[in-house]
Chains A and B, each alone.
Chain A
Amino acid sequence: MKRLLLLAAIASTPPGAARAQGTAVVYGVVRDTLNQPIRASVTDVRSGHGTVADNNGRYRLTVGGGTIVIRVGYVGFPSIVDTLSVAAGDSLERNYRLEAAVVELQPTIVTAAKHSQLLDQSVTSVSLVSDTDLARRAVSTVDEAVNKAPGVLFLNGQVNIRGSSGFVEGLGSRVLMLVDGVPANQGDRGGIDWDMVPVADVDHVEVVKGAGSALYGTAALGGVVNLITRDIPVGFHGQLRAAGGTYANPPVNAWQFRDYTGDLGGLDATGSYGTETLRGSLTLGGRHSDGYREQDKSDQWETSGRAEWLPEPGTRVTASGAWTSHQYQNFPTWCVPGTCDTHGQAYQPFMIDNSGRGSYTRSNKGYVAGTLDRTSSPSFAWQVRGSWLRTHFTDANPDDWSVANRLGAEVRGVFHVGGGDDRVLTVGMEGAHTGTTSDIFGDSGRVGDHTEIELAPYAQGEQRIGRLRLTAGTRLDHVTVSGAEPTTVVSPRIGAVLPSALGTWRASVGRGFRAPTVAERYVTTRAFGFQVVPNPDLRPETAWSFELGNSGPFAPWGRLDAALFWTEARQLIEPAFITIVDPVTMNQTAAIQIQNVSRARLRGLDASVTVTPVPALTATIAYLYLDSRDLTRDTVLSFRPRHLLTLSPDYRWRSFSVGADFRYTSRIERIELEDVFGQDPRVAARVLDLRAGWQQGPLSARLLVTNALNYIYNFVPRTLEPVRTISVVATWTY
């Protein structure tokens, strides 16, 4: 049978390809100690060429002939490194058994240093969201899973890493999102579209904390989130994923707002085919939600595709892209007396302010990217990529629209001096051209165009001295925006990693920055009843980020990762009230303008403990203590909760699994526009998610109950967070 499989696989390879190129084939099955197949990654360490086992654990990897080193890894398991010999034109069967471990002993990451490295070699904190995390939480978009990562909190869709972003209505994220290393923040607003990539395509997510501008430039002020998409396995494969669910009704009659129960559902289909040299995949999907509040319905259609050409070991050409069309109603703010009929209540969290009735958004977004990766030798690898990111939204009530096109390119070389990891030099150049056409971000409320050009060389060196590993690098960003002064920012970073008997110590100091977005400079609209006026003279906000951390096992059944962090930020870009004078009537009125207003300090402790008291039970406790100060106004920084606690136990028994996430977020002490919303009720958030799963062969079913206690709360003013949602996700995988 195995020989038949091998023959079938070889038959799918272009005739004579293996022998002509001096290649060989390693194949087999990867299972865990319970004999369950694992979708492990199998990599030729020297060439970097790898594959992913299918759902039956089967893998097939083409390698160069001779002595090779194979690494078999999967999140949650210690990797196996296997040295073997296989002659050119021959094949070799190797089956692997991964033993479940308390911790990921040596996971590989690619984001922290822009090249593949072990997690313990990173000088900054990195959290991983594995495909297991994504699957068992049965999420529809990636942010729902990233939200549970240690130190990460979403405020109405805006991601905060250690309190970096706060909340500014989606404008100007201080976190950079990448898709396989390609920057994907919106070109006009700088925010993040988490629905850009279908969740079915995402293999895992790397969350790099702290200033990352030394390698990634603008927006990486508070951290970087990199969505790593799935590799395409050899042969035919497919996946069908259907989801359906229901939202809880308001917990009290006084808040009822509709006479039916809201539903949600979706369907995604993925198909792929791969040979040793050519691979392709396509995903199509759609979903609908009635929403859990008044005027909260949404419909989404998405597609993504990927093609790979592997002409020889060590060379990979990839073309990928995704497109999402999302139509959704907007919930402006909840209603209070005077803005709707509150039925005698002081506020109605499920109902809208009537002035926002009829408000909806059509948001189309997508990207295409092409990448050439080449490992020329054990000591040198390089990459060239180009990308096009497009976002286009159209709002109704208020009527606004914007189209942004971001063309990006990067060339990068990685030198492993001597062929090992003791001395690594990464050198690259990144450039981008963003064009925005808009009425709201145009020319004082009229349609206008703006162009932004970024050019940035960067370099980073890593040197091992004994057990100590030193890292130093810098990046020079030159940003030109039409109608504004050009700016140049230098972002250096140094760091060190020291393995010891008390775990691995890491320390780093780095500078981050974020250039103001076109939206922040030129926005002209009305918000909260005030005119919002442009400010073309905005300057970049900057921050110095310090971190001292330690990670490692504290017992055979437990592991700790903890970091003290300290960020000093200057020229923070925030909304502020100003007085403007009507040129005709000379009347003075208040208005909102985005300004460089604040000096700020964010410091605290970010810690997580993972324990496995019994083999089938794993629990993670993560805690973030955040001390944030607005030094200009001598107050707590707005939208930064002081405490964030997450408990995540998971238990597995044969084909069944159960788990939970409990998250406590302390009451937000201060919000922007305190004069308007300061008297609104605010509470701490205590949210419990429950999940159960079953998997048998190609079928799996997962039950998810988010906010199981139907805890009613909000983070940002007059915006209700999701109520209890019960959903079932069924997946069939071929």
Chain B
Amino acid sequence: MIATMRSRAARAALAALAAALLACNEGLHPITCSGVCGTVTFSGAAPESTQAVYVVAYHTFPRSRDSLFNFRPPLPSLHALPLGGLPTFYDIPVETGRYEWVLAVWVKQGFNLSNADSTLREAGFYRNPADTSQPGVVTVAGGTEPADSINFVVDFGHMHPPCHYYNPPCP
């Protein structure tokens, strides 16, 4: 009886170990995009007053000052782009969803929440391939289906303040 139980215990232990080993290939693996990613190409020279340039995404196009800071990813997750040079890969970790506007935001030195209208600029955005005058909508379907190849140009010579896109726009 005891021998049988011992044998069962040994078999159970081996089975548990084998099952565990079989399930061992779920570690981290290379991914080229964790949300929205692509390549930005630079045009013109960054102004001397530049503090940083970030890529952000809006679920809904910001039509007023109230929605200006509803972008993703949150502020602490932003990483600055280089200020010119060769085309650069970017990747912004954002959650699953539909994004109406993916753009580069130029930030002037001295920026704070109260002077955002005068210290932030749109410096380029992803465009609709069918109508390049319009922003392209980007859909992130999930961890296995990020939105890659969201490529666009950062043009330091043609930047627009946030109110340029408000409804009504600034004078």
| A621 adjacent to B73 (CB under 8 Å) | no
| B34 adjacent to A679 (CB under 8 Å) | yes
- The interface of chain A, by Cβ under 8 A from chain B, is 252, 254-255, 336-339, 342, 344-347, 349, 528-530, 555-558, 585, 587-588, 590, 611, 613-614, 617, 619, 621, 645, 647, 649, 660, 662, 664, 673, 675-681, 683-684, 686, 688, 709, 711-714
Give Cα A662–Cα B14 distance, bound, in whole angstroms: 12
Residues in A whose Cβ lies below 8 Å from that of B75: 590, 675
Stretch in contact with the other chain, from B21-29, B62-70, B126-134:
B21-29
Q: How far is the CB of A608 from chain B (nearest CB, A)?
A: 13
Q: How far is the CB of A374 from chain B (nearest CB, A)?
A: 48
Give Cα A659–Cα B133 distance, bound, in whole angstroms: 66
**B30 and chain A: residue at smallest CB distance:** A254
| A339 adjacent to B37 (CB under 8 Å) | no
| A613 adjacent to B6 (CB under 8 Å) | yes
**B17: CB under 8 A from chain A?**
yes
Give Cα A477–Cα B145 distance, bound, in whole angstroms: 56
| B10 adjacent to A712 (CB under 8 Å) | no
Residues in B whose Cβ lies below 8 Å from that of A713: 27-28
**B16: CB under 8 A from chain A?**
yes
Q: How far is the CB of B57 from chain A (nearest CB, A)?
A: 12
In the complex, which of the residues B7, B81, B89, B94 contacts A679, with contact meaning CB atoms closer than 8 Å? Answer: B94
Give Cα A677–Cα B74 distance, bound, in whole angstroms: 10
| B34 adjacent to A617 (CB under 8 Å) | no
Residues in A whose Cβ lies below 8 Å from that of B32: 344-346
Known: A345-B30, A346-B93, A557-B9. 19 other contacts (CB 8 A): A254-B30, A336-B91, A338-B79, A338-B81, A349-B28, A530-B76, A613-B6, A619-B13, A645-B20, A647-B16, A664-B20, A673-B76, A679-B95, A681-B143, A686-B24, A688-B21, A711-B27, A712-B29, A713-B27
Total cross-chain contacts (CB, 8 A): 127
**28 A-B pairs whose Cβ atoms sit less than 8 Å apart in the complex:** A252-B30, A337-B91, A338-B78, A338-B79, A338-B80, A342-B91, A344-B89, A347-B31, A347-B34, A530-B76, A555-B2, A557-B6, A587-B112, A611-B9, A617-B10, A621-B16, A645-B20, A647-B16, A649-B13, A662-B17, A675-B73, A676-B77, A677-B77, A679-B34, A680-B34, A681-B31, A681-B143, A709-B24
| A346 adjacent to B37 (CB under 8 Å) | yes
Q: How far is the CB of B145 from chain A (nearest CB, A)?
A: 13
**B124: CB under 8 A from chain A?**
no
**B170: CB under 8 A from chain A?**
no
Give Cα A685–Cα B115 distance, bound, in whole angstroms: 46
In the complex, which of the residues A337, A529, A588, A709 contacts B112, with contact meaning CB atoms closer than 8 Å? Answer: A588
Closest 9 CB pairs of A and B: A338-B79, A679-B93, A613-B10, A346-B34, A613-B6, A712-B27, A337-B91, A676-B76, A675-B74
Residues in B whose Cβ lies below 8 Å from that of A662: 17, 20-21
Residues in B whose Cβ lies below 8 Å from that of A673: 76
Residues in B whose Cβ lies below 8 Å from that of A649: 13, 17
Q: How far is the CB of B55 from chain A (nearest CB, A)?
A: 9
Residues in A whose Cβ lies below 8 Å from that of B2: 555-557
Give Cα A714–Cα B28 distance, bound, in whole angstroms: 8
Given contacts A338-B79, A647-B17, A711 and B89 within 8 Å (CB-CB): no
**B111 and chain A: residue at smallest CB distance:** A587
- The interface of chain B, by Cβ under 8 A from chain A, is 2, 5-7, 9-10, 13, 16-17, 20-21, 23-35, 37, 73-81, 88-91, 93-95, 112-113, 143, 146
Q: How far is the CB of B83 from chain A (nearest CB, A)?
A: 12
| A337 adjacent to B27 (CB under 8 Å) | no
Q: How far is the CB of B52 from chain A (nearest CB, A)?
A: 10
Residues in A whose Cβ lies below 8 Å from that of B81: 338
Q: How far is the CB of A590 from chain B (nearest CB, A)?
A: 8
**A713 and chain B: residue at smallest CB distance:** B27
Q: How far is the CB of A91 from chain B (nearest CB, A)?
A: 44
Residues in A whose Cβ lies below 8 Å from that of B143: 681
Q: How far is the CB of B114 from chain A (nearest CB, A)?
A: 8
| A613 adjacent to B35 (CB under 8 Å) | no
Q: How far is the CB of A124 from chain B (nearest CB, A)?
A: 28
Residues in B whose Cβ lies below 8 Å from that of A678: 93
**B34 and chain A: residue at smallest CB distance:** A346
Give Cα A660–Cα B16 distance, bound, in whole angstroms: 13
Give Cα A617–Cα B113 distance, bound, in whole angstroms: 67
Residues in B whose Cβ lies below 8 Å from that of A611: 9, 13
| B27 adjacent to A346 (CB under 8 Å) | no
Give Cα A187–Cα B72 distance, bound, in whole angstroms: 41
Give Cα A673–Cα B74 distance, bound, in whole angstroms: 11
Q: How far is the CB of B76 from chain A (nearest CB, A)?
A: 4
Give Cα A614–Cα B2 distance, bound, in whole angstroms: 11
Residues in B whose Cβ lies below 8 Å from that of A336: 79, 91, 93
Residues in A whose Cβ lies below 8 Å from that of B20: 645, 647, 662, 664, 686, 688
| B7 adjacent to A337 (CB under 8 Å) | no
Residues in A whose Cβ lies below 8 Å from that of B73: 675, 679
Q: How far is the CB of B72 from chain A (nearest CB, A)?
A: 9
| A337 adjacent to B79 (CB under 8 Å) | yes
Q: How far is the CB of B59 from chain A (nearest CB, A)?
A: 15
Q: How far is the CB of B36 from chain A (nearest CB, A)?
A: 10
| B31 adjacent to A345 (CB under 8 Å) | yes
Residues in A whose Cβ lies below 8 Å from that of B5: 555, 557
Residues in B whose Cβ lies below 8 Å from that of A645: 20
| A681 adjacent to B91 (CB under 8 Å) | no
| B28 adjacent to A712 (CB under 8 Å) | yes
In the complex, which of the residues B10, B24, B27 contacts A614, with contact meaning CB atoms closer than 8 Å? Answer: B10
Give Cα A709–Cα B27 distance, bound, in whole angstroms: 10
| A339 adjacent to B9 (CB under 8 Å) | no
* Residue from A254, A347, A617, A680 with most neighbouring chain B CB atoms (10 Å): A347
Give Cα A614–Cα B20 distance, bound, in whole angstroms: 22
In the complex, which of the residues A337, A339, A621, A681 contacts B13, with contact meaning CB atoms closer than 8 Å? Answer: A621
In the complex, which of the residues A337, A556, A712 contacts B37, with contact meaning CB atoms closer than 8 Å? Answer: A337
| A613 adjacent to B7 (CB under 8 Å) | yes
Residues in B whose Cβ lies below 8 Å from that of A590: 75-76
**B2 and chain A: residue at smallest CB distance:** A556
Residues in B whose Cβ lies below 8 Å from that of A339: 79
Give Cα A100–Cα B151 distance, bound, in whole angstroms: 68
Residues in A whose Cβ lies below 8 Å from that of B17: 647, 649, 660, 662
Q: How far is the CB of B54 from chain A (nearest CB, A)?
A: 8
Give Cα A645–Cα B73 distance, bound, in whole angstroms: 35
Give Cα A673–Cα B77 distance, bound, in whole angstroms: 10
Give Cα A359–Cα B31 distance, bound, in whole angstroms: 27
Give Cα A622–Cα B113 distance, bound, in whole angstroms: 52
Residues in B whose Cβ lies below 8 Å from that of A711: 24, 27
Residues in A whose Cβ lies below 8 Å from that of B77: 675-677, 679
Give Cα A614–Cα B81 distance, bound, in whole angstroms: 63
Give Cα A678–Cα B93 distance, bound, in whole angstroms: 9
Q: How far is the CB of A520 from chain B (nearest CB, A)?
A: 22
Give Cα A614–Cα B21 distance, bound, in whole angstroms: 23
**B39 and chain A: residue at smallest CB distance:** A344
Q: How far is the CB of A41 from chain B (nearest CB, A)?
A: 30
Residues in B whose Cβ lies below 8 Å from that of A337: 37, 79, 88-91
Residues in B whose Cβ lies below 8 Å from that of A675: 73-77
**A556 and chain B: residue at smallest CB distance:** B2
Residues in A whose Cβ lies below 8 Å from that of B88: 337
Give Cα A403–Cα B155 distance, bound, in whole angstroms: 51
**B21 and chain A: residue at smallest CB distance:** A688
**B78 and chain A: residue at smallest CB distance:** A338
In the complex, which of the residues B13, B26, B94 contacts A683, with contact meaning CB atoms closer than 8 Å? Answer: B26
| A529 adjacent to B76 (CB under 8 Å) | yes
Give Cα A611–Cα B14 distance, bound, in whole angstroms: 12
**B8 and chain A: residue at smallest CB distance:** A613
Give Cα A649–Cα B112 distance, bound, in whole angstroms: 60
Give Cα A683–Cα B7 distance, bound, in whole angstroms: 35
Q: How far is the CB of B85 from chain A (nearest CB, A)?
A: 12
Q: How far is the CB of A94 from chain B (nearest CB, A)?
A: 33
Give Cα A27–Cα B33 distance, bound, in whole angstroms: 70
